[in-house]
Amino acid sequence: MKFKAHVEVKLKPGFFDPEGEAAKEALNDLGYNVHNVRISKLYTIELEAQSLDEAKRLVDEMCRRLLANPTKDLYDVEVHPSD
């Protein structure tokens, strides 16, 4: 079966986000009253698995092994059957 996963990886609270800070400053320079910007990455993964549970397990494994650094990152996973 084919599945599609969306994985959002973001910094844990308390970690400095230099990209977010640069975006905030640029937005303020453009005249927007922005107080905070946090950057996250969104991965869209298409994969094959025997079941939805297996697909979720595989994507979680991908996150732990490559996509997210457990020291500084949090991640959220959504998996659903692909069309």
Q: pTM (2 decimals)?
A: 0.88
- Residue 10 has what pLDDT? 97
Q: Which two tokens stand for residue 44?
A: 């869209």
Q: Dump pLDDT digits (tens) for 28-81.
A: 999 999 999 999 999 999 999 999 999 999 999 999 999 999 999 999 999 999
Please report the pLDDT score of residue 83 as a whole number.
Answer: 74
| Helix segments in 1-83, DSSP class H | 18-29, 52-62
What is the enclosing helix (H) or strand (E) of 11?
Answer: strand 2-11
Q: Give which of 13, 74, 18 is closest to 41, Cα–Cα.
A: 74
